Structure formats: structure tokens, C-alpha cells
A and B are shown apart, each in its own frame.
Chain A
Amino acid sequence: KQEVTQIPAALSVPEGENLVLNCSFTDSAIYNLQWFRQDPGKGLTSLLLIQSSQREQTSGRLNASLDKSSGRSTLYIAASQPGDSATYLCAVKSGYALNFGKGTSLLVTP
């Protein structure tokens, strides 16, 4: 059974800092890995999708990497802004369903 862990569970940083969110998974036989953002009480917004054959994906200030052999992914956020405050979820597709981590709750203070 695929287990997904996200560290840290919560993070508070001042505006402008670069930060890294970590995700680890136990089974390297995956189709892909997706990073999502969730605002309180809202649905999930897809940020980046990394297929199993890829090593990284970039979108604006976001960069996600994937090391399938070690079961790790990182989400790098450059020059953080208060609007980045949200919960970030890592999800691994290794079968027919996404397996989610518990998320990292990010607070960016002005």
C-alpha cells in the first residue's frame, strides 16, 4: 500500500523567502506525482504534474522535482508572497487512485 508523507506539517515564513516542501512515498512504481494547493474550505488546485519519466517541472515561481528511486519529491517556491498561504498537498498515482499526503500548511507573513 502506497504511503505518502509530507514534511513539515506546518511552516511559517516571512514574505520574500524561498522555501522547500518535502514529500516522500514508499512505492516507487508510480504513474506520476501531482502537487496541489488547497485554500481553507475549498477544492484542490493542481499546481504541477510530474510524470514518472520526468525529473522536474516548473511553473512560474514553482519548481517540483521527482526522484522516483528514492521515493522523494520537493516543491520549491521562490520569493514567497502572502497569497501563497494555503495547504500544499502531494499526491502519488501508483494505481487507479491518487494517494495523498496530509499536507503542509504554509503561512507567509507580510
Chain B
Amino acid sequence: KAGVTQTPRYLIKTRGQQVTLSCSPISGHRSVSWYQQTPGQGLQFLFEYFSETQRNKGNFPGRFSGRQFSNSRSEMNVSTLELGDSALYLCASNLGRYDDEQFFGPGTRLTVL
């Protein structure tokens, strides 16, 4: 069974631009969560999508948004990029229950110049 895939793996953007990251969950998984990892803050929850609906949201500004498609693939978008948005963005998927094991993808490394 293929794991969680994320594209692109690396991105370089400049301040003020916007970016879209993509995540394909494990086949059969209906929940997709996004996390941001930085050296200073560690791993922080961005949001979770389940059956095309945002089910939960972390404490991030509205510049961070996402969506989920009918095939469970998810995208997250960051508008008006800031230097502090430079991070590893990780996507995780599971079947959808709160006690399910989470499986993570390899991440997208975003650098904002």
C-alpha cells in the first residue's frame, strides 16, 4: 500500500507570494491533517479535513487555508507569505476516528526569501 505522498518536496518563494501544497493520503483514509514544523515551535497543528469538510482548525492566521477533494486528496494554501512561514509542512492521514493511528508524509520544505 502506498504511503502518504506530498508534492512538491521543496519550494522557494518570496515574501508576499502565495503557495499551494498538495497531499495524497493512503488509499481508504478519509482524514487529512496538516502540521507545520519549525525549529523554534516544533510541530504545530494547522487543520484537519474529513469528507471534504474542515473538521478542526489550529491557531494559525487566516492566510493559511485548505481544502479536501472527493478522493480525499488535500491542498493547503498560504497567501501573502512571510519569512516566518519558512518551515517543513507535514501532512498526515488516517481512517477518520480520533483514536486512529496517524501516518505522515515526507513533507514539503518551504523557504520564504
Q: Do B90 and A31 have beta carbons less than 8 Å apart? A: no
Shortest distance between the CB of A8 and any CB in chain B (Å): 16
Q: Smallest CB–CB gap between A21 and chain B, Å?
A: 16
A76 within 8 A of partner (CB): no
The interface size of chain A toward B, counting residues with CB under 8 Å, comes to 24
The smallest C-beta distance from B48 to any residue of chain A, in angstroms, reads 6
Whether B98 lies near A100 (C-beta < 8 A) is: no
Of the four ranges (under 10, 10 to 19, 20 to 34, 35 or more), the interface on chain B belongs to 20 to 34
Contact residues of A between 87 and 110, Cβ < 8 Å to B: 89, 91, 93, 95-98, 100-103
Partner of B33, one of A49, A89, A97, A100: A97
A103 to B37, CA, bound (A): 12
B99 near A32: Cβ-Cβ < 8 Å: yes
Chain A residues positioned under 8 Å from B90 (CB to CB): 43-44
Q: Report the separation of the CA atoms of residues A48 and B56 in the bound assembly, to the nearest whole angstrom.
A: 25
Q: How far is the CA of A84 from the CA of B45 in the complex (A)?
A: 27
CB < 8 Å: which of B35, B42, B98, B103 contacts A93? B98
Residues in chain A within 8 A of chain B (CB atoms)? 31-32, 34, 36, 41-46, 49, 51-52, 89, 91, 93, 95-98, 100-103
Chain A to chain B contacts (Cβ below 8 Å), 10 pairs: A36-B104, A43-B104, A43-B107, A45-B104, A93-B98, A93-B99, A96-B56, A97-B45, A97-B48, A103-B42
